[in-house]
Amino acid sequence: MPFLGLTGGIGAGKSTALAALERLGAAVLSSDAVVHELYEGEQLRDAAIDRWGPEVAPDGVIDRAAVAERAFANAEDRTWLEGMVWPLVGARVAAWLEGVRALAPPPRAAVVEVPLLFEAGLDALYDATIAVIADESARQRRAAGRGHALLRERGTRQLSQEEKARRATFVIPNDGSEEDLERELSAMLAKLGR
């Protein structure tokens, strides 16, 4: 069973691709969903309060925007947050993969969506990597639709989608319909023999 890392730029359609892969018989996990879960736990909440004060967790609940504002204000805070979050996410992914590998029959693939796959140096953990790409206007429209008007700003800490595509094992264009995307992903799974 291939273990695949899925990435792409903001608004490229990573989540849509992950859902399509699940429909195609892959076991899937979103590292963003894991991070959301971790923010709901005490360990990360308490560490963020110790670092930045109680205003990042009004009523004991992490305010992700407040944490992001502080973490992206300077490299030291961002490095601290990544140092807290990434090992916890890695442990969750490892536990999930162990469970997936025990499934009978096995799924067609195990796929983890990791927005900063290459930036975090995690690509070596996977059998293959997938970069979902889309034209700039589609990405802008999708990002704005989710309230992310910060494409360029957030993109500065991410590799360009062209660089992600250059490094990836498979490049999946997402400029058409969801059906087109699913067809591309199905063809990719077929190449993997799954």
CATH number at residue 165: 3.40.50.300
User: Model confidence at 137, in pLDDT bands (50, 70, 90)?
Assistant: confident
The average pLDDT across 11-40 equals: 94
* pLDDT score at 155: 47
| pTM reported for the whole predicted model | 0.87
Q: DSSP letters along 56-71, please?
A: GSGGGS--HHHHHHHH
CA 194 to CA 144: how far, in whole Å?
A: 35
Strand partners, 130: 6, 170
The average pLDDT across 79-104 equals: 94
pLDDT digits (tens, 9 = 90+) for 47-83: 999 999 999 999 889 998 899 888 888 889 989 998 9
Strand partners, 129: 5
Please give the share of the chain, as a percent, with pLDDT higher than 70: 92
User: Model confidence at 127, in pLDDT bands (50, 70, 90)?
Assistant: very high
Question: What does the DSSP 8-state code read for residue 13?
Answer: -
Residue type, 46: D
* pLDDT score at 150: 44
Q: How far, CA to CA in Å, does 55 sit from each of 39, 63, 72, 139?
A: 15, 8, 16, 33
Q: How far, CA to CA in Å, does 53 sit from each of 40, 42, 80, 175?
A: 17, 15, 15, 43
Please give the share of the chain, as a percent, with pLDDT higher than 90: 65
The whole domain housing 22 covers 3-191
CA 54 to CA 58: how far, in whole Å?
A: 6
Beta carbons within 8 Å of 169's beta carbon, 6+ residues apart: 128, 129, 130
Question: With 50 as the cut, is the pLDDT of residue 112 above it?
Answer: yes
Domain count for the chain, please give it: 1
* pLDDT score at 156: 60
Query: Could you tell me if 185 and 21 are in contact, meaning their C-beta atoms sit under 8 angstroms apart?
Result: yes
* pLDDT score at 64: 87
